[in-house]
Amino acid sequence: MNSLPAADRVLLLGANGQLGSEFRALLEGRCELTALTRAEAEFSQPEQIRRVVRELRPTVILNAAAYTAVDKAESEPELAALVNAATPAALAEEAARYGGLLVHYSTDYVFDGAKTGAWLEDDATGPLNVYGRTKLAGERAIAEAGGRHLIFRTSWVFAPHGKNFLLTMLRLGRERDRLTIVADQHGAPTSARAIARATMEVLGKLRGKLRGEEAASPSSWSGVYHMSCAGETTWHGFAQAIMDGCADLLDGKRPEVVPIPGAQYPTPARRPTNSVMDNGKLLRRFGVALPHWREALGEAVVQLRQDRLQRDPGTVSR
């Protein structure tokens, strides 16, 4: 289920990011994979990316590259727009020329957070920050290109590697006795591994269609899908779960996790108070569901323990 047939040529972009690294781990040796990092495929240069696609003509493009620095984007809107919208548009246009499938990722931050209850794919968008606006522009440009595409909106991504809330909390937890964490923003932490696996499941379901009856024309399954872990929490709830589940990774510290309102933690970019997404469309269309975020967190923590044991075999783990 996790592999594509050998005949599929897969181009992975952003291969060193959280999601890109998980795709590499899943796909290396299992399909004809070209995995390019930022050094090899720079998204601020759309023409360079066009050339890569023209040369390779991949069956599937997995675009895991993105400008994800939400606060920094406020002061670099042009670069964020190039990486999150202009180059994904170029990818979609090139793929549409020969019938390639573009798999792209977007964000819960396309919403303004004002809804009570979980967001549906066709709810009105209203991003509060530059990052969300550029990701939304990317979604629209990909759809306008008219080719086959899957856009998976995900949220609060974490992994045992890369830059993310889980690793930041573990570092701060080792340094401090008290952490103040925002408790009035609701969302679903989602592991990069769960996203990569779910993507492969969807592609497995589509395999016949990519070759068969729908190969020639943009099809009914192209479009936007929500793809986040099950359940929901706040940043405070996520932080508390990390501290509870990682006591052995905190070098003996047991920091207090104190809830605060977002107003007490001002950031350059505004964030939605509710960005919980409804994943029903993904389940109905493809029969795919992601695990609960607590389960995904547990799996990442197991990996962190294994990584630590490898680095330092003398460490006692439980």
Residue whose beta carbon is closest to ligand NAP: 17
Judged by CB under 6 A, the stretch of 17-25, 50-58, 248-256, 281-289 that binds ligand NAP is 17-25
- List 156, 225, 235, 286, residue binding ligand NAP (CB under 6 A): 156
- List the interface residues with ligand NAP, window 197-226 (CB under 6 A): none
50-64 as b/e: b if 16+ CB within 10 A:
eebbeebebbbbbbb
Considering only CA atoms, which of 170, 180, 172 is closest in space to residue 297?
A: 170
Considering only CA atoms, which of 208, 77, 91, 192 is closest in space to residue 135?
A: 77
Residue 225 appears among annotated catalytic residues: no
- List 145, 151, 157, 188, residue binding ligand NAP (CB under 6 A): 157
- 43 sits near ligand NAP (criterion: CB under 6 A): yes
- 20 sits near ligand NAP (criterion: CB under 6 A): yes
- List 14, 113, 127, 237, residue binding ligand NAP (CB under 6 A): 14
- 105 sits near ligand NAP (criterion: CB under 6 A): yes
Smallest distance, ligand NAP to C-beta of residue 311, A = 21
Which lies closer to ligand NAP via its Cβ, residue 64 or residue 101?
A: 64
Which lies closer to ligand NAP via its Cβ, residue 148 or residue 153?
A: 153
d(CA 140, CA 221): 16
Which lies closer to ligand NAP via its Cβ, residue 42 or residue 248?
A: 42
- List the interface residues with ligand NAP, window 44-83 (CB under 6 A): 44, 64-68, 83
- 111 sits near ligand NAP (criterion: CB under 6 A): no
- CB atoms inside a 10 Å sphere around CB 41: 22
Instruction: Determine the size of the site formed for ligand NAP (CB under 6 A).
Output: 26
d(CA 218, CA 132): 26
- List 154, 240, 274, 279, residue binding ligand NAP (CB under 6 A): 154
Judged by CB under 6 A, the stretch of 156-164, 199-207, 258-266, 289-297 that binds ligand NAP is 156-164
- 194 sits near ligand NAP (criterion: CB under 6 A): no
Which lies closer to ligand NAP via its Cβ, residue 64 or residue 179?
A: 64
- 38 sits near ligand NAP (criterion: CB under 6 A): yes
Q: 3-class secondary structure for 76-109?
A: CHHHHHHHHHHHHHHHHHHHHHHCCEEEEEEEHH
Which lies closer to ligand NAP via its Cβ, residue 83 or residue 183?
A: 83
Smallest distance, ligand NAP to C-beta of residue 267, A = 14
Which lies closer to ligand NAP via its Cβ, residue 209 or residue 270?
A: 270
- 17 sits near ligand NAP (criterion: CB under 6 A): yes
Active site residues: 131
Interface ranges with ligand NAP (CB under 6 A)? 14, 16-20, 38, 41-44, 64-68, 83, 105, 107, 135, 154-157, 162, 192
